[in-house]
Amino acid sequence: MRSRKHKGKCRIYHAPFDVRLPIHGSKDDDKILDVVQPDICVICDLSKLDERGCIGAPDLVVEVLSPSTLKYDWNYKFNLYETAGVKEYWIVDPKAKMVNVFLLQFDGKYDFGTVYDCNQKAPVRIFEGLEIDLKELFEE
């Protein structure tokens, strides 16, 4: 993934990959409140990376729903990522073949979200001009 803004410096990681979310941006281990393993995350500030994963909010997080994670991804992780400052949060529902995309607003809250179905292209807002063709994503 390349972006003029980030000059190709973003990195993509998939689970298992620890994302440690600290209190108020601290990098001290004793200030870490939550450790999660997003299905996919994109990190553009490489200073957040260390030998144990990422400390601080990724730029983009993608969670793929399953029956066992449905409520966790929609409730707990939604609120956690919003509070931590994840700029873009995607919730992928493979059963319904839909993607819900939430963008962090200036007030630190996610917007109401945009739903894309398998016949659409979903723009990746953190990368100008990048779209994901959901028909290809959900192909069987």
Residue 20: domain span: 11-137
Identify whether 70 is part of a domain. yes
Per-residue pLDDT reduced to its tens digit, 124-139:
999 999 999 999 999 8
Per-residue pLDDT reduced to its tens digit, 29-39:
666 678 999 99
Per-residue pLDDT reduced to its tens digit, 81-100:
999 999 999 999 999 999 99
Identify whether 115 is part of a domain. yes
Q: What pLDDT does 1 receive?
A: 39
Query: How many independent structural domains does the chain possess?
Result: 1
Identify whether 1 is part of a domain. no
Long-range residue pairs from 128-132, CB within 8 A, at least 24 positions apart, any chain: 128/3, 128/4, 128/5, 130/1, 130/3, 132/99
The span from the CA of 110 to the CA of 95, in Å, is 24
Per-residue pLDDT reduced to its tens digit, 46-59:
999 999 999 999 99
